[in-house]
Amino acid sequence: MGKNVRYRMIKLNETHNPELKSWITSANEDTTDFPIQNLPFGMYRHRGESGSFRGCTAIGDFILDLRAVNVECVDSLNTLASKGKQEWSRIRGLLSHALSNETQRESLEPYLFPLKDVELGLPVFTRDYTDFFTSYYHAYNTGKLFKPDEPVTPNFKWMPIAYHGRASSIVVSGTEILRPYGQILPVGENQPIMAPSRFLDFESELGIIIGPGNKMGETVGIDDAEDRIFGFVLLNDWSARDIQAWEYQPLGPFLSKSFATTISPWIITLEALAPFRSPAFKRFENDPPPLPHLTSISNAKNGHFSIRIEARLRSEECTNEILSSANYNSSYWNPAQLVVHHASNGCPMSPGDILGTGTISGPEASEAGAMLELGQMGAKPVLLSNGDQRSALNNGDTLTLCARCSDSKFRAIGFGEASGKILQAK
């Protein structure tokens, strides 16, 4: 392992106290995603208005404008993201103190609004979006459908594989998704057709939001990498599998992915996630160890996060059907390793950039994070509770990702939702 053991892990403090309560009663309910121990960052404006979005945090069923603690964010959180973890932690401390002390209520109430009365926007302006491929189980499950003799490529266990996505089509939760057109090669034919995708899929992912970037030519050390991470969002990498099958060789996916990527509006900070750390993925027997720049003693011990992510389907036939549920810590590569690998050739990253974790799938069949895996490319359609069968997503379907962190010693926190309804192709 690497010799650098200076892993500047965020330590637990008074903001993580599971006994801490807010004077906002909905924040104290067991079912809320946003107790006072969470305090994510987002952007809002009043519903029906067309003005700028402003920075806020979520607390129970309310949002609190960050101006309540003298923090000004207009249009995006990029400036805040660039300031680094000491400033993020300072603001978190101010919010925690203000929202847990009844004496602060009168001064904060002018900045407090019900969630149902506001519109949430994209939390950051993203210049660049990279999507990784980090789950061994996803790689194996999909690989065996196409190359059963070698389902996992030789490079997978040596580095986090990725492709450069399209930042312009990143949308916030609630945005409707048009079924895309594309070139498709029908089975048994030798000439493609131009048609709406017949195999529209989801991918359960998290998005890593970059904070302070790195300059061109500058690399990032494994024990410094988390200093570059502002936090996490939910991410659905919508995928048109039939378009993807025809276009992906030799340069990888393009139009099959670039039509839409949905993210949740709330950035869950690393400080909020500190109680839910877990060890790096335990490699299989005979797997090669990570190269020195991709590992350290501290990263191996605490470099991953226990975050359970679910995919839910709502349609005319079913309501809130859970399609899959998996834990992010089952992914082969962890967040710091993705940052390190991304910068290892000197590639610059900027505040607000997004690194997708890739589909999060676990070892069990119910933990597959995409319809491609769940339905085995149509060979074994997904059976819904009402008897309906699915191999792909239909027009009118709403696919929602949600995630939650829980531990018996700490207060559970959630991520909100990343949701999109599929509309007929134009």
Give me the active site residues, please: 138
Instruction: Check if the beta carbon of residue 246 is closer than 8 Å to that of residue 183.
Output: yes
CA distances to 9, 42, 365 from 99, rounded to whole Å, are 26, 17, 42
Amino acid residing at 401: L
CA distances to 107, 131, 392, 419 from 261, rounded to whole Å, are 39, 10, 17, 10
Taking the C-alpha atoms of residue 179 and residue 343, their distance in angstroms, rounded to an integer, is 34
CA dihedral 146, 149, 151, 156 (to 10 degrees): -140
Instruction: Check if the beta carbon of residue 45 is closer than 8 Å to that of residue 53.
Output: yes
- The gap from C-alpha 332 to its chain's centroid, in whole angstroms, comes to 16
Q: Give phi and psi for 114, each to the nearest 5.
A: -60, 140
Instruction: Check if the beta carbon of residue 395 is closer than 8 Å to that of residue 151.
Output: no
Write out the two tokens for 220: 């990032």
SS3 414: strand
Instruction: Check if the beta carbon of residue 165 is closer than 8 Å to that of residue 257.
Output: yes
Residue 60 half-sphere exposure toward CB, CA atoms < 13 A:
18
Q: How many of the other CB atoms lie within 10 Å of CB of 79?
A: 14
H-run or E-run covering 234: strand 229-236
Q: Tell me which residue has tokens 């519109």.
A: 119
Taking the C-alpha atoms of residue 391 and residue 326, their distance in angstroms, rounded to an integer, is 19
Sequence-distant (≥ 6) Cβ neighbours of residue 199 within 8 angstroms: 240, 241, 242, 378, 391, 392
Write out the two tokens for 365: 């069949």
Q: Identify the DSSP state of 281.
A: P
